[in-house]
Amino acid sequence: MTETAAIVGGGLTEWGEREATWKDLAQEAGKATFDDVDGLDQSDVEGLFVGAVQPERFAFQSHVAPLVAELLGIDADMISRTELACASGQAALRYAWLAIAAGQIDVALVLGVEKMNLGTEYMPEMQSTMTNVLDREFDGVNGLNGPSHFAQFAQRHMHEHGTTREQLAMVSAKNKSHAAATDFAQYREEVSVDDVLESYPIAPPLNLLDCSGITDGAAGVLLVSEEKAREVTDTPAYITGSGQSCLSSNSINNLPSMTTWPQAREASEKAYDQAGIEDPLAEIDVAEVHDCFSISEVIEYEQLGFAEEGEGGAFIEEGRSELDGDVAVNPRGGLLGCGHPLGATGVCQALEVYRQFTGDVPDARAVAGDPETGLIHNLSGSGSVHSVMTLGRDPQ
């Protein structure tokens, strides 16, 4: 690869239960993205990368990348839709970065879109669609879905490491309270630990407020070459590293552990090596991690190198993932606070890191100090695949 790539701006829709269609969401986020960046418009875009998980099921539409190109007026030299379940948006970012770094294009639009709410009368179909990311033949027929699967991780982590129900609730309370200061978030109310503990039980030990929502939303970023970035802005966010790991596991019975994600550790180590990061806890200022359930963030503290194995619960309890802690985790509110429109999540995470770098966030959720390094992390499916990307104010 000849060079890196940089985020120079982006935009998104309001997230939540929207009456907007899939097309509406794509257009809203696309317009917001171009409105955010002076000096670039649709005519400059050479590559279009669309993260979308199941538009075929949720919106009854496939072949969505050229659809987006038409909606936004883009004549692209390189175009693709990426699907990697909950990591689809980060996959789109990664492929755009690789295309720019290889010298194939200079400007890419990365757009993540998901329309998930079909109305309460279609809730069984919505839930069934969500389980498509698991192995339907083996895991699905046994009643396994998101809450029940992550409840297994929570139960085992509590059994082996003494993680408490209160520590899990602290994750949700932190993130949902951050989301109260996020103008596009699905949930915008301050939440206490007691609120989480007293919410409706879903899959013990996980309660309703331990679970991310079913969300409509879209987010976009403009990714450009290092040379182009200097022409467009004084405050780019450079992609400094990227890693991914699967370890030949997809079905639940083939996962290597029910308390750890070695895939996350391996993916993060690859990204850290590329970025020249030797001590992630000391060197990463802000992290957007995949808190689809409260237990997820606890395990991710450990696997991303912020805490020792088994000490993720203590990490949150000691305030080390707060805005003024060792590493600020999920300052926008994460998936628990903002919601989780599958294909848009990874793109929004990257946009949040960029905005934290530029200071374009409310004071109530601004990372303490002057953040210079960031990380985004996504797991996908049963947790069988993990994707990590590092960002910095300066190119490597």
The fold adopted by the segment(s) 5-119+214-232 is: Peroxisomal Thiolase; Chain A, domain 1 (3.40.47)
The region that residue 248 occupies, defined by phi over 0 for left and psi between -120 and 50 for alpha, beta otherwise, is: left
Length of the chain: 396
Using a pLDDT cut of 90, give the percent of the chain over it.
Answer: 88
* Number of CB atoms found within 10 A of residue 328's CB: 25
Quote the pLDDT of residue 1.
44
Quote the pLDDT of residue 150.
95
What average pLDDT score do residues 269-294 get? 98
What average pLDDT score do residues 199-227 get? 97
The residue from 149, 161, 340, 377 that is catalytic is 340
Rg of the chain (C-alpha set): 19
The residue from 86, 292, 338, 348 that is catalytic is 86
pLDDT at 277 over 70: yes
Q: How many CA atoms lie within 13 A of 132 on its CB side?
A: 18
| 359 DSSP 8-state letter | T
What average pLDDT score do residues 200-218 get? 97
What are the tens digits of pLDDT across the range 63-110? 999 999 999 999 999 999 999 999 999 999 999 999 999 999 999 999
Active site includes 246? Answer: no
Cα distance from N-terminal residue to C-terminal residue, the chain? 13
Identify the CA nearest to 104 among candidates 93, 115, 96, 112: 96
The answer to whether the CB of 234 falls within 8 A of the CB of 205 is no
The answer to whether the CB of 191 falls within 8 A of the CB of 173 is yes
* Number of CB atoms found within 10 A of residue 201's CB: 10
Active site includes 348? Answer: no
What average pLDDT score do residues 275-284 get? 98
pLDDT at 260 over 70: yes
Identify the CA nearest to 341 among candidates 1, 20, 107: 20
What are the tens digits of pLDDT across the range 332-344? 999 999 999 999 9
pLDDT at 112 over 60: yes
Burial of 159 (0-12, 13-18, 19+ CB in 10 A): exposed
Q: How many CA atoms lie within 13 A of 80 on its CB side?
A: 16
| SS3 state at 129 | helix
The answer to whether the CB of 124 falls within 8 A of the CB of 31 is no
Burial 212-251 (b: 16+ CB within 10 A, else e): bbbbbbbbbbbbbbbebbeebbebbbbbbbbbbbebebbe
Quote the pLDDT of residue 135.
82
pLDDT at 2 over 60: no
Quote the pLDDT of residue 144.
80
Question: How do the domains of the chain map onto residue ranges?
Answer: 5-119+214-232
What average pLDDT score do residues 12-16 get? 98
What average pLDDT score do residues 225-247 get? 95
**Is the model more confident about 151 or about 396?**
151
The answer to whether the CB of 292 falls within 8 A of the CB of 146 is yes
- Going by pLDDT thresholds of 50, 70 and 90, the confidence category of residue 362 is very high
pTM above 0.85, yes or no: yes
What are the tens digits of pLDDT across the range 150-170? 999 999 999 999 999 999 999
Q: What is the mean pLDDT of the chain?
A: 95
Question: Strand 78-82 vs strand 47-51: parallel, antiparallel, or unpaired?
Answer: parallel
Among 44-58, 152-166, 252-266, the minimum mean pLDDT is found in: 252-266
CA 264/CA 167 separation, integer angstroms: 21
CA 194/CA 176 separation, integer angstroms: 13
What are the tens digits of pLDDT across the range 65-76? 999 999 999 999
What average pLDDT score do residues 34-46 get? 97
